[in-house]
Structure 1
Amino acid sequence: MSAVLLIEQALNGLQFGVMLFLMGAGLTLIFGVMGLINLAHGSLYMVGAFAAAAVAGATGSFLLALVASLVAAAIAGVLVEVLVIRRLYDRDHLDQVLATFALILIFSEGTRWAFGSFPLFLDRPEWLAGTVMLPFGIEYSLYRLFIILVGLAVAAGLFWMIAYTRIGIQIRAGENDREMIGALGVNISALYTLVFALGAALAGFAGAMIGAIQSVQVGMGEPVLILAFVVIVIGGIGSIKGALVGALLVGLTDTLGRLLLPQFFELFMEPAAATSVGASLASMAIYILMAGVLLFKPSGLFGSTA
């Protein structure tokens, strides 16, 4: 195996991890501030992807499609929070799971009714088509590099917002003592709606970005949601830093595991058997990673131990 192939796959893992961060960051904000288990987060990812595909098809503009994904997912998030989620804050987690699972079904059938059952396709713009030459003679997809750079920029913006802005201070305070910040005059309902809309917008943006790599279809958000839960469990619930580190670990583990494990087992068995065993273990690698982290850090890498 060449070093160039290894670096290319590492970049693919980084791109996958950045996409998972956009999902996981919103999920960890919602759970950390609101204490809500939101199974419908993957549906907001799907809403963003379908909104982007529809706008790109109507206007031909990829940038407008990205803006549409943010706006559509944020609006859907506000409606969900105001109409449904707001009634669940004082309920136990089982009620939250059942209600948000029902939202998955509603979003899936509503999307199928609006767009049909056939997949949509979001074309990459010409200025992001093709490849770019990186150092050491590495030729890499320009669009995947764009996802990495935009995702890291979003991560930097989130860190800045949480650390240095007034709303960030309120979010951090809400994670620790929501009753106290309410007593100090902060509008808790408005804060919760804002956090939910921000998390929804990040999920929708991730759906739009990945929609140009794979087809946009009903139910596309649920597999990503499972991985996003793995990310925030590894990183620590409520931690943006943990979401970023966890997402990168999951992305690199999954991508490099699928490349390296079959080759490793070829040292001990026939190629066909090695491929089968390696692929099976590669699909389990991120869950083995999660179990290993929880064994030594039950609250996650950056989670609160309180």
Structure 2
Amino acid sequence: MSKVLVTGGAGFIGSNLVDNLITGGDQVIVVDDLSMGLATNLPKSQQIKFYQKSITNHEFMKELLLREKFDYIYLLAAVASVADSVERPYETHQINQEANIYILEIIRKYHLKIKKLLFSSSAAIYGSNSELPKKENSIVDPLTPYAIDKFSTERFVIDCGKLYGIPTVAVRFFNVYGPRQNPKSPYSGVLSLISQAIIHRSTFTIFGDGTQTRDFVFVDDVVQAIVLLTKESEIVHQVFNVGSGEHVSLLQVINAYEIIAGVSLRIVNRPQRVGDIKNSYADIDKLMEVGYKPIFDISKGLKLYWESLKD
């Protein structure tokens, strides 16, 4: 049994990770300000302690880290919106970078003996680089405050890990989807928005012509990768793409989803948004060499996602 901290643990990916950790017998502390997450995402369990706090509360985070002495730390809390980071660059920077570096600094300053710290970065760091698939050693070209913060924090986590002997690892998430995506959030993933348009028979807006491609990865595969890199391997000070290794266009996804749901979607087109990337998918060879095996292709994942929404 391990003692684990999950920041952003009431969110979409975080709560799915918490489920996995609880099943494995861990004691889990979740810190989440519920700006995007939901307390109801967390299972009722004596293995969980939940704090509705912002990770920017340095005094609280310091006291928590020193008191609990965690075995594993998962840094998932973020303002996960490109558009929001463009509108509020410094406010999102405080959450997406400064708060995470402060956690790292407390570990360094007080010589906390953790087994592994994982930081969740993003495929957004690759920016307009046209190389496909995206590899971990591909040129990065972060185009927005969100992407800049993700990449710079990733480097802090990896390189300070090396410098100060802290066991760290980072992951670059591609387009994650699955149960518990919050469709009411302005940061919601495109599949969550499509789902709501289908359910409510409302109009779905495509920004661009719909030929943009993405690597849609089901959340259970993401959790598999997270646990693999922290609890099931000795790998440190490296970064890994986390995706399905496949790429599909938005129009292909819509078509597949319409077949699964038995509904035709009403679509309107708008101009492509500033900061949006045309094509992106992951080279996951490095992660697969560690033992990662993605289980869910887009069709299988969408079926499970749709079933969860109907339930």
Structure richer in strand, relative to its length: 2
- TM-score relative to the length of structure 2: 0.28
**Structure with larger Rg:** 1
Q: Which structure would you say has the larger RCO, counting Cα contacts within 8 Å and 6 or more residues apart?
A: 1
- TM-score relative to the length of structure 1: 0.28
